[in-house]
Amino acid sequence: MPPIRVNRAKEKLQRGEVVTTISGLQDSDIIDFLGPLGFDAAWIECEHGPVDWDALGDMTRACDLWGMTSITRVNANDPGLITRTLDRGSMGIVVPHVNSREAAEQAAQSAKYAPLGYRGMFGGRQSFGVADYFHTANDQTMVVVLLEEVEALENIEEILKVDNIDVFFVAPSDLAQTMGHIGNAEHPEVQAAIEEAIGKIVNAGRTPGTLANDANIAKFKEMGVKFLMTSWNAWVVRGASEFLQKASA
C-alpha cells in the first residue's frame, strides 16, 4: 500500500518557509499549463465561478500530477460542504467570512477527523490505496480561514486561539468593502488594517497569508507573511497590454 500523499504547502509552512499559491483557476487545463512553473499550491475557486464537483475532481488530480497542493475555497462554512470538497481530492480548504472564534472552530473541526473534529467518515480520492488514511489525513489536510470583514479583525485575538488552522488569510477586497472603501483595497485605512492584522497574527505565533502582487510581495515577506497568494490573470493583462501598445505604435 502506498503512503498518504504529502501536502507540500503544509510541510513548507511547518518549516517556516514561504508558500506560493496561484489563483484564478477554473479548470484542469489551466492547472496543467501553470503546473511546470513551480508554485507550491493552487487555489481552486469554488466560491466564485463555474467549478462544479466533477471539475473539482479533475482539478485536484491535475494538482497531484504537478506536485502542487490543491486548496479549494468553498462558498460557505458548512461541515457537509467542506467534507465533500475534501472527498473530491482537495488537500486543503479555504473558508470564507470567518468572523468569530466559533466560526473558526467550525471550519477547523469540519476538516478534521476525530479526535480533532467531525469530518464525515469517508476518505474520497486521496484515501484510495492508503491503508491508514483515517489516522494520517489530519496531518496532511490544510485549513485556511479568511479574515475579510471588519468584524473578523475586531475578533482576531480570539480567532487566533483556535487550533488546527494553518493560515489566517487577511483578504483585502472584501475587507475594503466592509470598511466603506469598496473597490479600493489600496486605501491607506485598508492597508493599515491589513498590516495591523498581519502583525497580530505574527505576534501570536500563527501563520499569516494575504493576496500579493509584484509590487507588494517584498513588503509582505518582510512583515512575516508566509502564505502568498497571487493571480495569474494580472500577468496576462499586463503582457497583452504591452503587446497591443507595441503593435499600434
Residues 6+ apart with CB under 8 A from 214: none
Whether the upstream peptide bond of residue 115 has omega within 30° of 0, thus cis, is: yes
191 close to 173: Cβ distance less than 8 angstroms: no
199-218 burial, b for 16+ CB within 10 Å, e for fewer? ebbbeeebbbbbbbeeebee
The yes-or-no answer on residue 135 being catalytic is no
Q: Which of 41, 49, 34 is nearest to 71 (CA)?
A: 41
Catalytic residue among 48, 135, 181, 187: 48
Q: Which residue has the cell 511546470?
A: 36
Residue 20 corresponds to which amino acid?
Answer: T
Active site residues: 48
